[in-house]
Structure 1
Amino acid sequence: MKTTTATIGKQKYKTEIQSKNHIIMADEPIEVGGEDLGFTPIALLEASLAACSTMTVRMYADRKGWELDKVEIKVGFKRNITTHQIIFKKEIQFFGNLDNEQREKLLEMGSKCPIEKMITGDVSVVSILI
């Protein structure tokens, strides 16, 4: 199993996240008691979806030899308080010499990234005390 480790000490909400030799910081905003030293957990999830989608689009365009100069994807989400449904919204921009058919195909490919498949699939979390 691949492992990512999150560690929090006594400093309120400041969390160090390590995966292999990469480290990022997570925290909560000042208004909820954090110090705003890093991404919020929600922003990390949004970032995962945005990064995975852009990488998937880039890989596909590169394989096809298409003139894609840049991809920009903004991700946000809303939670319906009544139904508890969560909807992620991706605003996608493609820059480059692409026709409408290529743009539509890239849009389709962006929704096939592993993170999107994970969050739209049947997901379970198993917690084990060690």
Structure 2
Amino acid sequence: MSEPQLRGRASVEQRLVVAAAEMIAEVGPRASTVRAVATRAGVNHGLVHHYFGGKEGLLRAAMTHLVHEHERFATDQARGRPTPAPLALLQDQTYLRAVVRCVLDGEMDLAVTELTEGVSMPGHCDGA
């Protein structure tokens, strides 16, 4: 996934979102700390509060990022055919782990981000 090189605030936000997404998949939202995410992103932890309002805003942005990455992945895998949702989900291990970790941590609002963002793969398969 090659994305354009971002600078300034956009670059910092992107690095924080990607780092948070990785941590959600690895350790879950509860164990993902602002300091650990900021360290992984290579930025000062105060920027999380400045750009996202805190941990909750960052986690929401990270799950939204994962949802849209998953949608792109599933669409690419479908090659014009209706997306087989379970197969696409199983092939996207980072997204699958993140959703499972959110459920295990009791963060259902994060786990259902795919639905709240309106990009549910089953919805796409049904022609919605």
The question of a shared fold, defined as TM-score above 0.5 by the shorter chain, is answered with: no
TM-score interval (norm. to shorter): 0.3 to 0.5
Higher relative contact order (CA 8 A, sep 6+): 2
Which TM-score applies when normalising by structure 2?
Answer: 0.38
| Larger proportion of strand | 1
Of structures 1 and 2, the larger Rg is shown by 1
Which TM-score applies when normalising by structure 1?
Answer: 0.37
